[in-house]
Amino acid sequence: MPAKGSLESIGSVRAMHERANAETADNSDFGKFQHESDPHANHIFAMFGQEAYDEYIRDVAAQRQREKSEATEKLARRTARMRRFLNIHTRIEHKLATLVTNVASKVVQRHITA
């Protein structure tokens, strides 16, 4: 697993966004897509008729929506962690820059007074 805030981690977040966008594009006509690609849907339709088929499609669509919601929540938590990490990193950089500036000015003052 990549370290938090690393380029690999940022890349994996970007990949999650791209996968979510691709899934959204695939779901534009979910019923048709499901009927064409799912042998279970075809079997249910053949054995039990349209009503059972529609119920199966609704169940599968609900499951995909739950998975998508879980992925969205996971992405939101990960994004929040990334923001916190970046904020902490920025504060540390600012404190370090201030410290270096103060030390440098003291060194310069010593050279001037010496």
Asked, for residue 86, whether it belongs to a domain, the answer is: yes
DSSP string across 41-101:
HHHHHHHH-HHHHHHHHHHHHHHHHHHHHHHHHHHHHHHHHHHHHHHHHHHHHHHHHHHHH
Asked, for residue 1, whether it belongs to a domain, the answer is: no
pLDDT confidence band for 13 (50 / 70 / 90): low
* Residue 77, domain extent: 7-113
Least Cα distance to 65 among 18, 20, 13, 12 occurs for 20
pLDDT at 9 over 70: no
Asked, for residue 2, whether it belongs to a domain, the answer is: no
pLDDT confidence band for 41 (50 / 70 / 90): confident
pLDDT confidence band for 90 (50 / 70 / 90): confident
pTM for the structure as a whole? 0.42
Asked, for residue 107, whether it belongs to a domain, the answer is: yes
How many structural domains is the chain composed of?
1
